[in-house]
Structure 1
Amino acid sequence: MATDLYIVRHGRTMFNTLHRAQGWSDTPLTERGQEGIRELGVGLRERGLSFHRALSSDLGRTILTMDILLSELGLKGEIPYTYDARIREWSFGSNDGVYDQDLFFNILPRIAGVDSMEEMTYEDMAKAIYEADTADWAETWEQLRDRLLAGIKELAEKMEAAGGGNALVVSHGMTIGTLLYLLNGQRFVVLDNGSVTRIRYEDGQFQVLEVGDLSYRQDGRKVLDQNQS
């Protein structure tokens, strides 16, 4: 049996709402952000999906997102759940918390010597962030790449060794985008909070099946609206 990783971007946070770069800093999910993840949990449940293992990053916004999902799915305490720093968000170093517009559309392209972010790969951005960091907190591209791949591959291998099935993963927008870049060369993708990216692992190979799917949330919203009427 193949292993499918349902990789969720965490719910909308305070910094997401304010359009600030949120790396290793951590702001809580807003009320609307929590509601969006409830929609997702209900939508996943309505599809009749079964999950055998859960994994989130070690940051609070992903842990709370996973807690809501497992509650809606009736899986709290029913399946193994761990959190792993290897799938946490990028560190933006001294630029953590600056406005997205300033970081991604001004600082990073200027350092990289290009006109716009659209001309940059994830590797280019990581190198520019590392160069821009004055606090010595940012990771090199190699550190970022290696820890992300190691975290995801370890989960996939554990699932495959146990017979395969579905794993529920909660991570971060830039981190998920980086994984897609590493697996299929996708240049840059904007993923909504509560979206699902599905990756299959079989015979030692990854295959991207869905990117940023919001249909699960949409299905859940319909069910919640029906229950309120």
Structure 2
Amino acid sequence: MVNVYVVRHGKTMFNTIGRAQGWSDTPLTAFGELGVKELGVGFGAKNIRFDRAYSSDSGRTIQTMSYVLKYSENEDIPYKMDKRLREWCFGSLDGGFDGELFDGVLPRTDAYKGKTFEELTYQDIANGILEVDTAGWAEPWEVLRKRILDGFFDAAKKAEETGAENIIIVSHGMTIATFIKLIDSHQPKFLGLDNGSVTRLTYFNGNFMIHEVGDMSYRELGREILDAE
């Protein structure tokens, strides 16, 4: 059995000013760096030794991983970047303000018509983005769905094959939330996972089991330790 710790990257410049980041990228802010340092210290205090590490190929996840591995004393482990673990692509709306995208443009699409927020699915959101993307960059739902599932399942399967006990995956808010919903349809839509939060799962023989989603206790423990120094 493999313990899988899925981390949302630290807080970035675009996160701070409320822009939809998608496949565009901005670095962690000073506050974001502190947050993932806290996370690394929290992992270290729990004596969690990672065997393998995975992240998307976006700068913000790479930067997050470097902090987490350093401060949890897990630097010398195999680390792979995988573009399948990227955030959703918002197409020509990448970099726009969240409010303009999620509250302004998307609710006017055919994909959203006649549906309350509670009724909307991730597929509806993807269809809405595809409808308004003038650049042709956004991913159709089946492409998005497949690459997210393949990215997480392949990482876990490889870890199991190599006898890894604990792995860490640093990814993105909507990608993590979509993955959770895809493997357990009874889970709610998580559109507000905190930066530096941990979603813990186990993987065994081709199946994931969800234990916690968006857990902030590792960061909180790290903060207590750093504040006491």
**Normalising to structure 1: TM-score of the pair?**
0.95
Aligned to 1:171: 171
Counterpart-to-counterpart distance in 1, 2:57 and 2:35: 21
The offset of 1:115, in angstroms, is: 5.5
Aligned to 1:23: 22
Return the offset for 1:187.
3.6
Match of 2:153 in 1: 153
Give the Å deviation of 1:88.
0.4
Instruction: Provide the residue aligned with 1:84 in structure 2.
Output: 82
Aligned equivalents of 1:187 and 1:195: distance in 2?
A: 17
Measured against aligned partners, the alpha-carbon deviations of 1:142-182 in whole angstroms (never above 9, x if no partner) come to 11111111111111111111224110110000000010110
Counterpart residue type for residue 180 of structure 2: L
Q: Tell me, in whole angstroms, the C-alpha distance in 2 between the residues paired with 1:41 and 1:177.
A: 22
Structure 2: gaps (5+ residues): none
Specify the code of the residue in structure 2 equivalent to 1:125.
I
Contact (CA 8 Å) 1:7, 1:170: kept in 2 or not? yes
- For residues 89-104 of structure 1, the aligned pairs below 5 Å read 89-104=87-102
**Is the 2:52–2:79 Cα contact (8 Å) retained in structure 1?**
yes
SS of equivalent residue, structure 2 residue 118: helix
Q: How far apart in 2 are the matches of 1:114 and 1:38? A: 44
1:109 touches 1:115 (CA, 8 Å); kept in 2? no
Which runs of structure 1 show a deviation greater than 2 angstroms over 4 or more consecutive aligned residues? 114-119
Q: Size of the alignment, in residue pairs?
A: 225
Change (3 A) 1:184 1:170: same
Give the unaligned 5+ runs of structure 1: none
**Could you tell me whether the CA contact under 8 Å between 2:56 and 2:85 is conserved in 1?**
yes
How far apart are the structure 1 equivalents of 2:116 and 2:28? Answer: 30
Contact 2:52–2:164 (CA under 8 A) maintained in structure 1? no
**Aligned counterpart, 1:188:** 189
Partners of 1:94 and 1:120 lie apart in 2 by 22
Matched-pair identity in %: 52
Residue 125 of structure 2 is matched in structure 1 by 125
| Distance in 2, Cα, partners of 1:25 & 1:36 | 21
